[in-house]
Amino acid sequence: MAPHTYGIEKSYTVTLTVVNTAGTSTSQTFTGKTASNNGGSSAIFSQVIDIPPSSPIDVRGFQKECRFPTQTDLINVIKWSAPTTGNMPVAYRIYRDAALTDLIATISASSELEFKDHNRKKNKMYTYYIVSVSALDTISPSVSIIIPKVECS
């Protein structure tokens, strides 16, 4: 056993590789009490555990109107903050549906945490779902934001 204690409370990605003089397998059997490996002298068992990142926080949104000589652009603006604890994301994904199947944008965690959805319709309410994404592509629970319909004259 090789115990290790981290000095800072947060999520870590941990890789465990087991190699011994008898060799290990590329598969592992766990009976609930013991773990065993089989295999030859060159076999290696390795597993990477990726902890999902924390969800975005302080999500807010509004609709703004930009008028041009020939058209008016209604823009839904969503802003959020990076999580302050847990595994930090490398990106954020924005979806139009709770099932997270209608992806409309991916925003890098190193850029401004803002999304603008142009050419929206008058008098319509919009709901967006935002998830944080880890370096190994696991996602956080989604956070939803509703942009209320704005009555335009």
| Residues sharing a CB contact under 8 Å with residue 137, sequence separation 6 or more, in sequence order | none
Is the pLDDT score of 36 beyond 70?
A: no
What's the pLDDT score for residue 70?
77
Chain segment 5-16, per-residue pLDDT in tens = 666 666 666 665
Query: Could you give the C-alpha distances from 153 to 72, 112, 119, in angstroms and in order?
Result: 12, 32, 16
Which amino acid would we find at residue 123? Answer: N
pLDDT surpasses 90 at 41: no
| Domains in the chain with CATH codes | 14-49 (no CATH), 57-147 (2.60.40.10)
State the pLDDT at residue 148: 82
Query: pLDDT tens across 70-100, in order?
Result: 777 788 999 999 998 888 899 999 999 999 9
For residue 44, what are the contacts with CB-CB under 8 A and spacing of at least 6? 17, 18, 19, 24, 26
